[in-house]
Each structure stands twice: as structure tokens, then as C-alpha cells.
Amino acid sequence: MALTTQNTRFLGVDTRMLAQAIGHFWQAVQQMPPFTWLSPSVRIRVLAVDGSASVWEAGSSLLRRPHAALQSANFTAIEIPEEIVLLQELSMPAVSASELHDAVALEARSNSPFPLDDLVWGYVHHPLATGALQVSLALASRQQVERHMLASTSPVNAKFAPEAWVLAGLQKPVVLQGFGEVRRAKHGLVWRRLAYALLLSALGLLVAIAVTPTLQLHFRALEAHKLYEAERLRTAPAAAKRTGYLAAAERLTQLAQLSQGHVDALDTMYRLTQIMPDDSFLATLQVQGQKITLTGQTSNAAALMQHLGTQPGVSDVKALSASTRMPGTTKDSFSIELVIAAAAEKPAVKAAVADPSATTPVSAAAVASVPVPAGAASAPMPAVPASASPSLLPASAAPLPAASRPAAVASKPSIS
């Protein structure tokens, strides 16, 4: 024969035991005052053995209310006489309600003098000072209990089956199981669930009231984000153009900064030609912005640096290396760095260099310095046609008196 077992363990935890522990905890919680207030309070009309009637109120426990009106009772119970009931007092450890019910049921089946199919039982318990539970167990025969309930001469609500109670001088009545107590238990369960539902609804409303401002702010933020995205998409072309304009302006600014202070190469060559002495020549010329590096040879490098430092527009003259003179030569090799300022206006000579076709007037001194042959001095000058324009003749074409002739232009003095 195959042996089948039900595995109720998950990740090393017995789920059945866990469910029982949760159920026991919830039953214990329901006995606490905040939750017992949610249990519905119903009134029960109890018909005693002597024919009198009283009203009991059942909520978290059964309490006797002898002065309550009988018409307000919704349920009916009949007292079972002590002659047909067997009472037993038991002492049990403090356990959960379900465990206590199982233990009392086992005790009732074990000690009952009645057949199991004819046994009805009920119990009530209260705690002792020692921590244990005092249990009062009532055993009876179902046939005898039903005959007593049918033979009762007191008026009974025939629509619903009444409950069977055993009082027997106890503090709380013992309710025999299997009669009308099931209807009252269902009624209490329905109303308790309704009370829990109302409580949860109230808590939900409170949470909704507390969360509503935050949700409103959240939805407003989402709406603002949507509007922002729509506006961003609408203005994307204009934003792209603006970005392009800013980038172009930045490039123009950088270009202006690079071109600011730039020295014109042609103007630099012309100015260096003017300020360099005749006994000096350049081997290399390097221009970096306003800084100019010169290498070449001269008769006296120290005198050349002093000469360059006194020129207008030239500053920060310094030697990059010591001047040297090779054996057998009369020239010093130099390497000089200087800063030359950009010229505000180009001189006329530079314009002439830039435009070779322009006519340059010849000065009288230049004419006087040209040697004239001896025979040419006494030769008569040819007649000039009247139709010739005087503007085509140079100013130095007419002979000048010897006294008014300027001396020949001296060459640039050499720096020794």
C-alpha cells in the first residue's frame, strides 16, 4: 500500500502551523477591548425550569440583565435541568481557544457515559490566579434534552430553534452545542464583519483625506510637466536657432580675440627694414601675434638690442640666447625676441610698395647726386613743346643754381 503524506513545509516553515498561529493570534486580538466593542450585542430570552423568564445580553460574553424587556430579545434559550446534565470541573493550562476546544472535546468523548451519537456537551472557562484555566464541562443526552425542550410549557419562538443552556448556579451559562446557538453565532459573525468593514472604510476615508492634498500636488506636477514638454517641443526650432546664434557669436568673439593685436606681416617687414641698421641682416623671422623672434648677424649684438629698445612701438626686447662670434668673422650671431605694436596707419612707402604702378616723385637731392658728364653741362637744353603738359615733367627736370642744390643724401650710419 502506498503511503502518501502531505508536505506543508515551504522554505523550512510549516505553513499549517503558521496558519494556526495566525488564527490563534487573531482570536486573541478579538478578545481585546478595542475589538470586543465591535462585537454585536444581542439580547436572549431565557426560559428557566420553573417557568420564569429573564433576558441575557450577549456580546463578548454572556451577562444577565433581569430588568430588560422581554420583547426586545431576538433569540430564545431554554434552561436544561440539572437532573439530566452531568457536570465536570477540569483544570487545563492556558492555551488558545481552538486548542482548548479540541482538548475539551477529547475529554468529553473520553469521559461521557452516553453514546457518541447521542452525546451533547458544552463548556465554559475562566482563568485562575495560577495562570491555568478552570473549565466547567456539561454532558447530556440529546434525546433527553430534546424531550425537555419539547415538553416546556413556556412560549417559545417556533420560527427558530431555541438554544439549550445549563445554568446550575454557574457564573456563566454553559451552552450545549448543536442547537440554536449556531444562528446566534452566524448573526454575530455577520455583524462583526460589517463592523470591521465600516471601520476599514472609515480608516480608508481618513487615509484618503490625508493623501488627497499630496495626490493633488502630484497630479498638478504631472500636468505641469506635460505642459512644459509641449511648450518645449513647440519652441524647439527657436531654441535650436538661438543655440546656433550663441555658438556663432561665441566663435566670432574667439576670432576677434585671436585677431586682436595681430601684427601685419607686410607692415612688420617694412618697420624692421626701417629700424635695422645697415651692418645687420636677418637669417630668420618668426611672428607670433605681437611677439617677433629675430635671428641673424650684426657687428655688435649689445648695441643692436639697445638700438631696438629705443625705437617707438618696440618693447620687451630680450635676448633668447647669448650672442656668439665665430673665429675669423667680424659678425655676432644673435637671437632676439621683441614685441612690436601694430601700426595705426600704413605709411605712404608701404602703400607704394603695395602698388608698384604708382608714380614716385624724385627729390631734388636725388637728382643732384647723379653725376653729369662734362660735355653735358654746356649743352643747351632741348625746347619743350608748348603742348606738353607741365604735370608730366618732373620737378627736378629744370636746372637748379649751384647754391640751391642740397647736399647728397648720406647713407644710414653704421653702428659700431
Selected residue with higher pLDDT from 83 and 21: 83
Residues 146 and 274 in one domain: no
Say if residues 133 and 91 touch (Cβ distance below 8 Å): yes
Sheet holding 75-79, edge to edge: 62-65, 53-58, 42-47, 75-79, 163-166, 174-175
Residues 272 and 187 in one domain: no
* Distance from C-alpha of 274 to C-alpha of 279, rounded to nearest angstrom: 13
pLDDT value at residue 31: 59
Beta bridge pairs of residue 32: none
Find the length of the chain. Answer: 416
Residues 188 and 277 in one domain: no
Domain annotation covers residue 258: no
Show the domain range for 278: 265-340
Question: What's 273's domain CATH number?
Answer: 3.30.1360
Domain annotation covers residue 93: yes
Q: Please tell me the number of Cα atoms within 13 Å of 372 on its side-chain side.
A: 11
- In this prediction, residues 310-339 reach a mean pLDDT of 88
Give 410's pLDDT tier (boundaries 50, 70, 90): very low
Angle at 10 between CA 6 and CA 12, to 5 degrees: 110
Boundary residue ending a domain (151, 175, 193): 193
Domain annotation covers residue 381: no
Give 194's pLDDT tier (boundaries 50, 70, 90): confident
Domain annotation covers residue 291: yes
Boundary residue ending a domain (136, 169, 193): 193
Domain annotation covers residue 188: yes
Domain annotation covers residue 63: yes
What integer best gives the mean pLDDT of the chain? 75
Residues 188 and 312 in one domain: no
pLDDT value at residue 233: 94
The total number of structural domains that make up the chain = 2
pLDDT digits (tens, 9 = 90+) for 233-264: 999 999 999 999 999 999 998 887 776 656 67
**Span of 70-74, 316-320, 355-359, 410-414 with lowest mean pLDDT:** 410-414
Query: How does 330-363 read in b/e, with b if 16+ C-beta sit within 10 Å?
Result: ebbbbbbebbbeeeeeeeeebeeeeeeeeeeeee
For the chain, what percent of residues have pLDDT higher than 70?
67
Boundary residue ending a domain (340, 370, 402): 340
Selected residue with higher pLDDT from 236 and 75: 236
Question: What SS3 state is found at 204?
Answer: helix
Q: Is the pTM of this model over 0.85?
A: no
Cβ within 8 Å of residue 263, ≥6 positions away? 287, 289, 290, 292, 340, 342
pLDDT value at residue 354: 47
Domain annotation covers residue 218: no
Domain annotation covers residue 17: no
Cβ within 8 Å of residue 98, ≥6 positions away? 20, 23, 24, 27
Beta bridge pairs of residue 286: 293
pLDDT value at residue 94: 84
